[in-house]
Structure 1
Amino acid sequence: MTRTVIVLAAGEGKRMKSDLPKVLHPLLGRSLVGHVLAAAAPLDAQTLVVVGHRAEQVAAHLAETAPAARTALQAQQNGTGHAVRIALEALDDVSGTVIVLNGDVPLLREQTLTDLVEAHESAGAAATVLGATVPDPVGLGRLIRDTDGALVRIVEERDASADERAVREINAGIYAFDAAALRLALTKLTTQNDQGEEYLTDVFGLLVAEGAPVRVHLAADHTETLGCNDRAELAALRALMRDRINTALMRSGVTIMDPATTWVDATVTVERDAVLEPNTQLRGATSVATGAVVGPDVTLIDTSVGEQAQVVRAHAVQAQIGPNVSVGPYAYLRPGAVIGRKGKVGTFVEIKNASLGEGTKVPHLSYVGDATIGEQTNIGAGNLFANYSGTTKSHTVIGSHVKTACDTTFVAPVRVGDGAYTAAGSVVDKDVPPGALAVARAHQRNIEGWVRRARPGSAGAEAAEQALAQQRELPTTEG
């Protein structure tokens, strides 16, 4: 049977108080509508998203994140029924099952949606609604049943009677329809309601009146049906998804020391026996391999972490951290940082667009940018890679088994051969041959008495005079 998914994403979401359309607000790795599309992906259906408010912005997002989805414009938001009719008109001769989803229900699970569609198709129903029993139904549409439990109609709260508002079984805004029955019923919708709009939910009442088979499929977890209307509700959804993701990871063999402070995007992968310490955030396409320890106080964005690596109090974006690598504390890995096996990036070290070979260490207080460093090299404290001339960036190449002393500056482009050394305080702007010692600093010159002459009466001048006097009083030792 052919299937078509229609996602309703035309609304403005005024209560979000945002220039960003509601369905594009981010939630742990995807937009709200992105989560909905991910839940619908296993249905193997053609997909159309109805856009309206800031349509170009929503369409651009979909083109980047869900290129297979088509869009249709609802220029004036005249209700959900109107939106679905626009969608059907934009598609070629739709048949089989039509699944309609709201674009702001990010917690909907793939399995729940698949179960809904399969129950609908196996029963040969004209329409099936996903419902849920909620502790507080305020603001939500109600499912009204007869004494035998059959669905009579779906009523919006603003149009409901006092008795109907007491019902706790709600409409999740997620439906499966027979395409032919839906198309016919849409022609019979009116705007005789409080909002003056065409309600898609009225289709159920029309089908019931005609004696067509209509079903209710209840979600096992009512939180899957939650949408959001403002930032507070969005934050509540974010916390629910955090808990869901963390629980699944822990049950798969990942140790999470403090789930309440650990935030993992839905797009992240973490392998068994990895450990996530408190205050860890894993975002985007980040992956953490088995046995790695991440945290505390770590943010990784689109970053891979190899087996048995340790990352402590660090921030990384689009970086590759190899197996058995140590990063941090207080390290910053920028895009293009590649740290080879058993490497080390230590305290207050920044790496950008640079690769470190196996066993290479940058222990502390250094900036490495636009560089290639070989194996088993040690970059001393306070080293700087001067890669930017003000107009162009150049590359530095440092070989294997190189030892660079404290406060060495490499002025790119420059090459340092295998096994070479640099002297402390050197500014290296010429290539260093393999095995050579580069000394690039001025000779020291002491100007005696300068403080007394230039800073007379200062604390430094007085301290110097006292020290000199003590030296004059010391006996001379002859060998």
Structure 2
Amino acid sequence: SVRDHVGERARFATQVQSGALADGVLRALSMVENTNGYVLVVNSNLPLLSTRTIGMLVDAAEGKAASRLVYCEEDEETRICAGYCFEINRLREFLEQNHSLSVNAEHCIRAMRMEGERVVDVYAPAMECLAIRDRSDLWEGTCLRQESINVHHMQNGVTFIDPRRAYIDPDATIGEDTIIYPGVFLQGHTRIGRGCTILDGCRLRDTIVGDRCELSSVVAQEAAIEDGTTIGPFVRLRPNAHVGKGCKIGNFVEIKNSTLGDGGKVAHLTYVGDADIGRRINIGCGTAFANYDGARKHRTTIGDDVFLGCNTSLVAPVKLGNGAYTAAGSTITKDVPDGSLGVGRARQTNIEGWTSPQEKKEKK
């Protein structure tokens, strides 16, 4: 809701009588008693009104009884109005004298003009005055708002392969010379650096991406990716995932609450959770960080220049020193010192002369 979104930044007055301007506005004015100046009156279903247009409306009212925002330059009877800015004491006086449910802002404007007071009209773009009454209006308004956001980014040097199919939140920022492919969602306060390529299938929320990065089919939330890193396809970065410079993260990798140092490689099919990982490491296919014992999460610490063989399981808490190795298929439950090879797997046994059950059956 609006109340949840705005929070403590505003005070709210509840209009008891539906459709009654006098009731709603007077309740709001009661919160600013003994105040001089101007008050803005705008319907709540006009989300596309820009700060520039509202600023023009407020500026136009200076030194006058009121200003009126219109978006149809026809005669007075058919002119469509989107908002008003009133001198606060003049508005309060009028509403206190007129409690009828049918009283609206236009009645106030006419009364002021009949008394010889100055009221000026400010013309607004029709797009900004789209009233949202149902889901079809909401869709139309969303398309218009998204178009204006994407045009703004293109004017600042961002390339969209198809701007009609890229969904950028108003608080997201994109650096110059970045390319955005169709099917990309940049949500919340996501920040994309310069010269990046964001391929289709990416959904980034409150995520920071450095310069010259390439992402493909990445789902990220509250993550950070440093310069020159390539990620994807089909990668999930959960909160507090931090990927260093020049890293390569391949397909079907999930990283959560972990830091990966510069130059790291996690090629495919890996889960990294609750880990502090050094620089220039290589994590083999199928590696899993076993961070949860059923009651608590534990961290894994890995030094620089470490090589983890395929299908390594690291049972936290555990520490691997600089230059350490793990053998493929190992379950590591103890610390591995610097420059050592950790092997934790069953010894292989070969049974000679083995005949498969199928072969035995065929010989009978």
Instruction: Give the TM-score of the pair, scaled to structure 2.
Output: 0.95
**C-alpha distance in structure 2 between counterparts of 1:396 and 1:333, whole Å:** 18
Matched, 1:189 2:189: no
The 8 Å contact of residues 189 and 203 in structure 1, kept in 2 or not, is answered as no
Matched, 1:170 2:84: no
Matched, 1:372 2:276: yes
**What is the Cα deviation at residue 74 of structure 1?**
2.4
Q: Which amino acid aligns with 2:191?
A: S
The 5 A counterparts of 1:192-203 are 196-203=101-108
Partner of 1:319: 223
**C-alpha distance in structure 2 between counterparts of 1:117 and 1:426, whole Å:** 70
Partner of 1:118: 59
What is the SS of the residue equivalent to 2:34? coil
The 5 A counterparts of 1:11-26 are 24=1
**C-alpha distance in structure 1 between counterparts of 2:233 and 2:178, whole Å:** 19
The 5 A counterparts of 1:257-336 are 257-336=161-240
* Identity across the alignment (%): 39
What is the SS of the residue equivalent to 2:141? helix
Partner of 1:68: 9
**C-alpha distance in structure 2 between counterparts of 1:282 and 1:274, whole Å:** 13
**C-alpha distance in structure 1 between counterparts of 2:224 and 2:293, whole Å:** 27
Partner of 2:123: 218
The 8 Å contact of residues 88 and 94 in structure 1, kept in 2 or not, is answered as no
Pick from 334, 348, 355: which aligns with 1:430? 334
CA RMSD of aligned residues (A): 1.9
Q: Which amino acid aligns with 1:214?
A: V
What is the SS of the residue equivalent to 1:443? coil
Q: Quick one: structure 1 residues 448 and 92, their matched pair in 2 at CA, closer, same or farther if it must change by over 3 Å? A: farther
**C-alpha distance in structure 2 between counterparts of 1:129 and 1:455, whole Å:** 92
Partner of 1:5: none
Partner of 1:354: 258
**What is the Cα deviation at residue 376 of structure 1?**
0.4
**C-alpha distance in structure 1 between counterparts of 2:17 and 2:80, whole Å:** 27
**What is the Cα deviation at residue 127 of structure 1?**
1.4
The 8 Å contact of residues 190 and 207 in structure 2, kept in 1 or not, is answered as yes
Larger Rg: 1
Question: Does 236-245 or 74-83 show the bigger shift?
Answer: 74-83
**What is the Cα deviation at residue 113 of structure 1?**
1.1
Q: Quick one: structure 1 residues 120 and 442, their matched pair in 2 at CA, closer, same or farther if it must change by over 3 Å? A: same
Partner of 1:77: 18
Q: Which amino acid aligns with 2:69?
A: L
**What is the Cα deviation at residue 296 of structure 1?**
1.8
Q: Quick one: structure 1 residues 214 and 303, their matched pair in 2 at CA, closer, same or farther if it must change by over 3 Å? A: same
What is the SS of the residue equivalent to 2:164? helix
**What is the Cα deviation at residue 182 of structure 1?**
0.7
**C-alpha distance in structure 2 between counterparts of 1:317 and 1:61, whole Å:** 20
Q: Which has the higher contact order (CA 8 A, sep 6+)?
A: 1
Q: Deviations along 1:71-96, whole A, 9 cap, x unmatched?
A: 22323435122211111112231211
**What is the Cα deviation at residue 211 of structure 1?**
2.1
Matched, 1:406 2:310: yes
**C-alpha distance in structure 1 between counterparts of 2:269 and 2:87, whole Å:** 66
Aligned residues: 363
**C-alpha distance in structure 2 between counterparts of 1:423 and 1:382, whole Å:** 13
Q: Deviations along 1:310-348, whole A, 9 cap, x unmatched?
A: 111111111001000111011111111100000111111
Q: Quick one: structure 1 residues 144 and 88, their matched pair in 2 at CA, closer, same or farther if it must change by over 3 Å? A: farther
Q: Which amino acid aligns with 1:283?
A: Q
